[in-house]
């Protein structure tokens, strides 16, 4: 070892490898996608999955412990309720990438003046059908069709992970927020215990659609804070949600998964948002004040 050179610990070495893989994944000069961008491909895939997403959100009401998807959403929704508890009726709200409209309905039920935007035609159609009378429009997170300072609150659940450059989406969200406005955005953790960052980077690079239908972009807590600050948020908090690599168990037995999640939920709630553990969770929740 050269003088002054520090030996990397195992966690740092893994982080460096994942970061390099994630950067390579987003580097179109290395393996160009000749047909479509990362974001547009995600829209295409989600268009084919609209019925599946509607069913998943319906299951969230029935039994949130039946899958890691519904359990993760349960934890996000609980955190979201707390973060928005002080927002008044009539709050002008935007749901970016609203999917089949689950959160559009939730926000509207609280008296918010809410607009949903969704680029997938099939998702958008289902959102409109499930939420008659509510506004759901076509829209692109990287080019929001609203003037500056249009909203008091912006929500974006599991959207920036599909952007080659999440910073662009965060900057647009900040732009349409009024001074003092609140944004809640989820991001995919680079160092999650589920190991998906490495799996996604490798299978995307090797173009194995059986394992990876869509490329993702991943963040660390530190990177997320920096990205939010660069986007124009004056105050930034980052929360960790859902600690545990339980996806494999869910594929083997949904009943075993449900029992495990119920049993470990108190421990999950106690640990997932602690400094040092947030990066290991399944979801980072970025909270920014304009």
Find the CATH number of the domain harbouring 171.
Answer: 3.40.50.150
Is 4 among the domain residues?
no
Is 254 among the domain residues?
yes
Is 3 among the domain residues?
no
Binning pLDDT at 50, 70 and 90, where does residue 74 land?
very high
* pLDDT score recorded for residue 210: 60
- Spatial CA neighbour of 261 closest among 91, 67, 103: 67
Is 5 among the domain residues?
no
pLDDT over 60 at 32, yes or no = no
Is 95 among the domain residues?
yes
Is 1 among the domain residues?
no
Is 252 among the domain residues?
yes
Average pLDDT, rounded, for the chain: 89
The more confident residue out of 94 and 248 is 94
* pLDDT score recorded for residue 6: 45
| Structural domain for 99, as ranges | 10-289
Domain count, the chain: 1
CB environment 155-177: b (16+ within 10 A), e (fewer): bbbbbbbbbbebbbbbbbbbbbb
Is 231 among the domain residues?
yes
Binning pLDDT at 50, 70 and 90, where does residue 204 land?
confident
Measured CA to CA, the distance from residue 29 to residue 272 in angstroms comes to: 37
pTM, whole model, 2 decimals? 0.86
């Amino acid at each position: 070892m050269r003088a002054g050179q520090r030996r990397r610990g195992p966690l740092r070495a893994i982080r460096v490898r994942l970061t390099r893989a994630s950067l390579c994944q987003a580097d179109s000069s290395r393996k160009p996608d000749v047909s479509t961008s990362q974001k547009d491909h995600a829209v295409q895939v989600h268009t084919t999955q609209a019925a599946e997403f509607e069913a998943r959100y319906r299951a969230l009401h029935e039994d949130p412990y039946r899958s890691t998807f519904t359990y993760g959403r349960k934890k996000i929704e609980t955190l979201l309720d707390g973060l928005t508890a002080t927002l008044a009726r009539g709050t002008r709200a935007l749901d970016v990438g609203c999917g089949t409209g689950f959160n559009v309905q939730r926000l509207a039920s609280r008296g918010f003046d809410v607009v949903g935007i969704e680029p997938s035609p099939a998702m958008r159609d289902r959102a409109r059908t499930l939420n008659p009378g509510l506004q759901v429009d076509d829209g692109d997170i990287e080019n929001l069709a609203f003037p500056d300072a249009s909203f008091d609150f912006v929500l974006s659940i599991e959207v920036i992970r599909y952007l080659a450059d999440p910073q662009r989406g965060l900057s647009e969200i900040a732009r349409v927020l009024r001074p003092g406005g609140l944004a809640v955005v989820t991001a995919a953790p680079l160092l999650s215990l589920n190991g998906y960052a490495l799996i996604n980077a490798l299978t995307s690079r090797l173009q194995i659609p059986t394992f990876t239908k869509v490329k993702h972009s991943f963040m660390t807590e530190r990177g997320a804070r920096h990205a939010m600050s660069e986007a124009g948020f004056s105050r930034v908090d980052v929360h960790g949600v859902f600690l545990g690599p339980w996806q494999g168990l869910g594929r083997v037995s949904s009943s075993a998964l449900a029992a495990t999640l119920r049993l470990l939920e108190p421990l999950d709630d106690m640990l997932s948002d602690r400094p040092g553990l947030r990066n290991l969770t399944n979801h980072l929740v970025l909270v920014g004040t304009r």
